[in-house]
Chain A
Amino acid sequence: MALTKQEWLALEAKAHQLRLDMLETTHMAGSGHIGGGSSVMDILTILYHKFMNLKVEDPNWEDRDRCILSKGHAGIGYASVLVDFGWNDREQLKTFNLTGSKMGIHLDSNKVIGVDASTGSLGHGQSIAVGTALAARLQGKSYFTYCILGDGELNEGSNWEAFMSTAQFKLNNLITIVDRNGAMIDGMTEDIMALEPLVDKFEAFGFNTLRIDGHSFPELANAIEVAMATKDKPTCIIADTVKAQGFGGKAGDYRWHYGAMDNDGYEQAKKDLEAYYLGRKAVAEKEGI
């Protein structure tokens, strides 16, 4: 197993704290992208707290691993990660979405420390990631670029241009992760514009493709380690996730792509997240080694 029990438990605690931070921010801002923010949170947590090679004291370290969050609307979750990491003042979360704030729904790489690309218009991240991965190779640097895509955004044709070039340039230093929460704004992906069979599509585009539970830290850890070790072709990890995961009855409901949070909802969400965390913690304690 790629994760020790201790690491697993620490990641569970961290992801729980980050979901709470996101909830707090959403409550203060009045609304936010809870759905996609929570579905991607375990992916972000394991990248920033196990795999990515970063320096807290030097966010612009040129040899750092890159993370391109192509699904930029998960910014409210990502902001929590980048504040918690020590790169941005926690007070900034209190200004989220406020006029003149450095932080809005889609994070600006020139305003929020640690954001490697300004995203928001969907279908852009993979191309940018191809660029950083090619640059790393040319400059003889060993860093990895991680690109996290939403599944709904795979409707954008530009992604598939980028996927072709990822394989054409044999970018084994670019690890593509799809947050496959199955939902988009207007409904479920398979009802709006079907994506399956997604593994076959990525395989056909030249990727080593893994499909895992995106809310399982051991599965995420194993998949990322396989991706890092795969040299003959790039790897895509399709992480099956749940929109608004951990938020009780909201989990899996596409309508929680973006939502408002009143005081009652906020109190209930805190309880839901706590229960969700305790459940996952129990699994880690039981199954961890």
Chain B
Amino acid sequence: MGGGLTYTAVESTKLATTELYGKAMVELGTAHPEVVALTADLAGSTKIGDFQEKFPDRFFNVGIAEQNMFGIAAGMAKAGLVPYLSTFAQFASMRVADQLSTDICYQNVNAKIIATHGGTSFGQAGSTHHAITDIALVRALPNLTVIVPADGYETVNAVKAAYATPGPFYIRINRGFDHVLYENTDYGFELGKAQLLHEGTDITVIACGSCAYQALAAAQFLKNSDGLTVRVLNMHTIKPLDKEAVQKAIGETRRIITVEDHSVIGGLGSAVAEVMAEMGKGCAFTRLGIQDHFSIIGLHEDIMSHEGIDSNGIANTVREMMGKDFEADDNWDDEV
């Protein structure tokens, strides 16, 4: 996508992902008068309020009525506007599933959903505010592009890619201060193409969202301590999935771990498993994520640790996987 936004790394450490998103929205709004923003009583929490200050006439707060917001956005898009609508991920998926499916995706309108507080990032709010099934739901919806940015600058790229690409988007970001993976927007973000964060041939960790940083940290740690080379892919685009990168990783490393702040059912892990199964090649495979339960209450980082989706959890799983017997040759037939 290239940049345009050139915030410094120093500045970015002070900015929550949502704040970078807010700035990106203001930039988009300045350049494109047809861009409008909607929220459901969460202007402050989702940082879409920055847009409100700059463009009060193009900002619409519908109150606590997410279903209505999604329908309104569909109507606006039908009439030529480009609505960016923002609410918590749990509500932007589960609460509005019918409106998202029928009004937005079925009609294939040019509406861009920014789902904040994704995964367990609003940890202390408890399971009512943990979005651990949203990717499973939205990934199944035709016409919808699904992005889970890894940090603030990737969010900026996703927001801009969404504008540049007609059709509905679901961009899932976190609540707060994500670890910084990218120092600016100019790192070669490409929709539908996995970002190689760390080269490796022993095993591949495929991650999205806040888990991408954790996977990179684990890879760096394992290289020094265990002498392992761990390939890390930031799979920011969940749909359309970069099947080629997955197939390449299966062929070249024969061991795959997926890691996501989401249920292991239906999300990134399932998407990768589908590619693997259809490929017909055996491979050591583990899905890290929320293991089919409602998660505990707590700080996001503590929940990630509890669920084994932080750098320590990933590193431990890598070590377990390396102990599994998978051959390194090219003969698939004697495996599985």
Contact = CB atoms under 8 A, between A and B. Distances in A.
A130 B72 contact: yes
A132 B276 CA distance: 44
Contacts of A161: 62-63, 65, 67-68
B72 to A, nearest CB: 4
Contacts of A134: 60, 72, 75-76
Nearest to A168: B63
A169 B68 CA distance: 13
Q: Which interface residue of B72, B73, B76 has the most chain A CB atoms within 10 A?
A: B72
A105 interface: no
B171 to A, nearest CB: 20
Contacts of A62: 79-80
Interface string A144-184: 01000000000000100110110011000000000000000
Contact of A117 (B67, B68, B78): B78
A138 B71 contact: no
B75 A131 contact: yes
B303 interface: no
A142 to B, nearest CB: 13
A118 interface: yes
B63 A164 contact: yes
A135 interface: yes
B107 A117 contact: yes
Contacts of B73: 131
B99 A127 contact: yes
B75 A127 contact: yes
A265 to B, nearest CB: 33
A163 B254 CA distance: 56
B76 A110 contact: no
Given A138-B57, A165-B63, A124 B103 contact: yes
Given A130-B68, A131-B72, A161-B65, A118 B106 contact: yes
A20 to B, nearest CB: 31
Contact of A131 (B57, B63, B76, B106): B76
B74 A135 contact: no
A161 B102 CA distance: 17
A130 to B, nearest CB: 5
Given A117-B107, A138-B81, A124 B71 contact: yes
A99 interface: no
B102 A127 contact: no
Contact of A158 (B63, B67, B107): B67
Interface residues of B, number: 30
B71 to A, nearest CB: 2
A121 B63 contact: no
B107 A109 contact: yes
B75 A135 contact: yes
Contacts of A29: none
B102 A118 contact: yes
Contacts of A116: 78
Contacts of B76: 131-132, 134-135
A139 interface: yes
Nearest to A62: B80
Contacts of B103: 117-118, 124, 127-128
B58 interface: yes
B190 interface: no
A131 to B, nearest CB: 2
Contacts of B78: 109, 116-117, 128, 131-132, 135
A121 B102 contact: yes
A139 B75 CA distance: 14
Interface in B41-82: 57-58, 60, 62-63, 65, 67-81
A79 interface: no
B75 A132 contact: yes
Contacts of B77: 131
Contacts of B199: none
Nearest to B74: A128
A129 interface: yes
Nearest to B66: A161
Contacts of A119: 102
B215 interface: no
A66 B71 CA distance: 15
Contacts of B57: 138
B42 to A, nearest CB: 15
Interface string B126-167: 000000000000000000000000000000000000000000
- Nearest 10 Cβ contacts at the A-B interface: A131-B75, A127-B71, A135-B79, A161-B68, A161-B65, A128-B75, A131-B72, A131-B76, A132-B75, A158-B67
29 contacts: A68-B75, A108-B106, A116-B78, A118-B107, A126-B71, A127-B67, A128-B78, A130-B71, A131-B72, A131-B74, A132-B76, A134-B72, A134-B75, A135-B81, A138-B57, A138-B58, A139-B79, A145-B75, A158-B67, A158-B68, A158-B71, A161-B62, A161-B65, A161-B68, A162-B71, A164-B63, A165-B63, A165-B72, A168-B63
Interface of A: 62, 66, 68, 108-110, 116-121, 124-136, 138-139, 145, 158, 161-162, 164-165, 168-169
Given A66-B79, A118-B107, 5 more contacts: A110-B107, A127-B69, A128-B74, A132-B76, A162-B68
